[in-house]
Amino acid sequence: MYPLKQVIEDASQALATLDTDRLEELAAACRGLNRGLQTASADSLTQFAQEAEEARPDLAILSRIFDATRENLRVLHRAQERRRSGHSSGYLQNSAV
């Protein structure tokens, strides 16, 4: 069984390198995990809770990378808009990105 910690580490790595295929695989795996937990035994849930505890710092990292990605995407959209409006090589005046 693929440990939860490893799933999260892989997601962080894939998000950093924008490995879309890997992220989509992991999303499918998480949907499967979620379905499995709905019918899991008490022992399995206890084991999952232990894994979740161990993986908590890794989820914090993924969360921060996710936040940074959202901000990067926002900046990319701004850049795209600027290029579309003909400011492809212009500097932003006093810009704080």
Partner 1 sequence: MGTINSAFNLISSALDADQSALSIVANNVANASTAGYTREVPNWQENPPVQINGASYGTGVTETGPTSIRDRVLGQRLVQQQQLASSSGARLSALNTLQALFTPSSGSSSATTGEIGSDLTGFFDSFASLESNPTNNALRQQVLSTATTLAGDISNAAASINSQRSALDQEAAGIVSQVNALTGSIAQLNEQVQTVSPNADAGTLEDQRQQDILQLSQLVGINQVTTENNGLSITTTSGQLLVSESSNFSMSTGEVDGVTHFFLGSTDITSQLAGGGGELGGYLTTRDQDIPTTLGGLDQLAYSVSTSVNAQNNSGTDLDGDAGNAGNIFTEPTAIAGSAQAMRVVMTDPNHIAAASLTGGTGDDSNAIALAALGSQATVQGQTPINFYSQFVSTLGSTVSEAQTENAAQNASVTQLQTQIASLSGVNLNDEASSMQQFERSYQAASEVFTILNTIMASALNLGVQTAVS
Nearer to partner 1, 1 or 69 (CB): 69
Query: Cα separation of 13 and 22, whole Å?
Result: 10
Distance, in Å, from the CA atom of 56 to the CA atom of 59, rounded to the nearest integer, reads: 5
Q: Which of 2, 3, 6, 52 binds partner 1 (CB under 8 A)?
A: 52
45 binds partner 1 (CB under 8 A): yes
Which are the contacts of 67, defined by CB distance < 8 A and separation ≥ 6?
none
Angstrom distance (rounded) from CA 30 to CA 48: 13
Binding site for partner 1 (CB under 8 A): 4, 7-8, 11-12, 14-20, 23-24, 26-27, 30-31, 33-35, 37-38, 40, 45, 48-49, 52-53, 55-57, 59-73, 75-80, 82-83, 88-97
